[in-house]
Amino acid sequence: MKRPVLIGTVLFCLAMAVLLFLRLLPLSAGAARLPGPDVALCLALAWVLRRPDQLAAPVIALAFAFQDIILFHPLGLWPAIVLVGTEAARLRENRWRDQPFMVEWLRTAALIGMMMLGYRIIQVLFMLPIPALGQAILHFIATVAAYPLVVLAARLLFGLRRITPVEAEQMRFA
């Protein structure tokens, strides 16, 4: 494994661990609140769309599976959907690379919406407990609204930027 790939993988895993830790903190004791964004999903999509060479599919699956275990979610369902979604984004990364950020944001919003809808449909089909539709819609809106902030934070904290066409060619032949 090349050094930049290893560094990127370790940074992603550390970021996911910090996000999971922050999610577990008791920030509001007993107060009803609006659902927050899925920052981990935003980070995974931003990483795959900016540095597809640094983040392997098993790393994404294991990070989200670990999150499912810790948060007591249905084991494997959301990691499988996230894996399909991030790999779909990875396949389209070369076509999205030259587009302005607004186009990327809209496409990512559509992808997040399809992922959340698929998750909800599977929950209904298998009679798993599902949150209220209003809560799910607010969660989607918060996640889509957080995506640009996560991209900016990843750029500032990790130096995560889009790859250039030269770097893409080098990855293809490496």
Angle at 8 (CA atoms; ends 11, 100), nearest 5 degrees: 105
Nearest to 111 by CA among 131, 94, 126, 96: 96
Residue 154, pLDDT > 90, answer: yes
Q: Which two tokens stand for residue 64?
A: 């989200």
Quote the pLDDT of residue 66. Answer: 96
Report residue 174's pLDDT band, with 50, 70 and 90 as the boundaries: low
Q: Residues 6 or more apart from 24 whose CB is under 8 A from it?
A: 70, 71
pLDDT digits (tens, 9 = 90+) for 15-33: 999 999 998 887 666 666 7
pLDDT digits (tens, 9 = 90+) for 64-76: 999 999 998 888 9
Report residue 113's pLDDT band, with 50, 70 and 90 as the boundaries: very high
Domain positions in the chain are 3-16+39-173
Report residue 97's pLDDT band, with 50, 70 and 90 as the boundaries: confident
Q: Which two tokens stand for residue 118?
A: 């698929």
Quote the pLDDT of residue 57. Answer: 94
Report residue 3's pLDDT band, with 50, 70 and 90 as the boundaries: confident
Q: Which two tokens stand for residue 151?
A: 């991209």
Residue 117, pLDDT > 90, answer: yes
Average pLDDT, the chain: 90
Residue 144, pLDDT > 90, answer: yes
User: Residues of the chain with pLDDT > 90: what percent?
Assistant: 66
